[in-house]
């Protein structure tokens, strides 16, 4: 009967060396299958008005991210935390826990909802009066797990993307909420 290489080594030191080599090769193979996913903004759209308790009114904007999983392993986006900055000065925090699995070698769309408080939307619209678009930047980090069986976790993948949204879309929603806008 043929013995595994680990047990066939004649001394404890030789067995330890064989085991260390196997662990090294295994970890190198694992690292090769877990490439950093790339993310960018696919588009952003204004969804409507959100009314919540305690009394607050905001404009719901959905930012759709494209995540390209170039790895040979499935990945899970566990959490995204960051902010959307509009016109370079109006920042709105984002924290989502989508727990979305990304299939290996494929792109996945991931929507992220952002509520722009009406108290921010009105000065935002005033400051963008002469522009048909409002520029935004999505910046933050994502926490990711590689394959459900391996559960290799990598936290704080940086995300920093820019785009623009039609100003008129925000104006229309703000007007429908009863706000006095430009």
Residues 19 and 67 both lie in one domain: no
Say what the pTM is: 0.66
Residue 112 to residue 37: CA distance in whole angstroms? 17
Residues 66 and 97 both lie in one domain: yes
The HSE-up count of residue 167 (CA atoms within 13 Å, CB side) is: 17
Residue 127 lies in a domain: yes
pLDDT at position 178, please?
60
Supply the CATH number for residue 155's domain: 2.60.40.1820
Residues 56 and 84 both lie in one domain: yes
pLDDT at position 88, please?
95
Spatial contact of 67 and 102, defined as CB atoms under 8 Å apart:
yes
Residues 55 and 1 both lie in one domain: no
Residues 62 and 22 both lie in one domain: no
Residues 50 and 80 both lie in one domain: yes
Residues 72 and 45 both lie in one domain: yes
pLDDT at position 181, please?
53
Residue 12 lies in a domain: yes
Residue 13 to residue 9: CA distance in whole angstroms? 9
Structure tokens at 37: 């996913």
Residue 155 lies in a domain: yes
Residues 4 and 74 both lie in one domain: no
User: Domain limits at 40?
Assistant: 36-176
pLDDT at position 86, please?
93
Residue 121 lies in a domain: yes
Residue 75 to residue 146: CA distance in whole angstroms? 4
Residues 20 and 56 both lie in one domain: no
Mean pLDDT by 10 residues, the chain (182 residues): 45 40 35 65 83 84 86 87 93 90 92 88 92 91 75 76 85 70 51
DSSP bridge pairs for 87 = none
């Amino acid at each position: 009967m043929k013995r595994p290489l680990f047990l066939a080594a004649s001394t404890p030191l030789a067995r330890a060396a064989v085991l260390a080599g196997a662990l090294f090769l295994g970890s190198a193979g694992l690292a090769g299958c877990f490439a950093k996913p790339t993310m960018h903004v696919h588009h952003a759209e204004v969804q409507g008005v959100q009314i919540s308790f305690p009394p607050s009114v905001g404009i719901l904007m959905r930012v759709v991210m494209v995540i390209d999983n170039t790895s040979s392993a499935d990945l899970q986006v566990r959490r995204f935390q960051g902010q959307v900055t509009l016109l370079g000065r109006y920042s709105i925090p984002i924290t989502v826990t989508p727990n979305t699995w990304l299939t290996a070698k494929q792109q996945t769309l991931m929507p992220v909802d952002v509520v722009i408080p009406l108290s921010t939307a009105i000065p935002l619209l005033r400051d963008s009066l002469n522009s048909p678009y409002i520029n935004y930047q999505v910046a933050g980090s994502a926490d990711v797990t590689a394959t459900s069986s391996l559960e290799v976790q990598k936290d704080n993948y940086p995300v920093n993307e820019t785009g623009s949204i039609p100003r008129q879309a925000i104006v229309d929603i703000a007007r429908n909420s009863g706000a006095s806008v430009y």
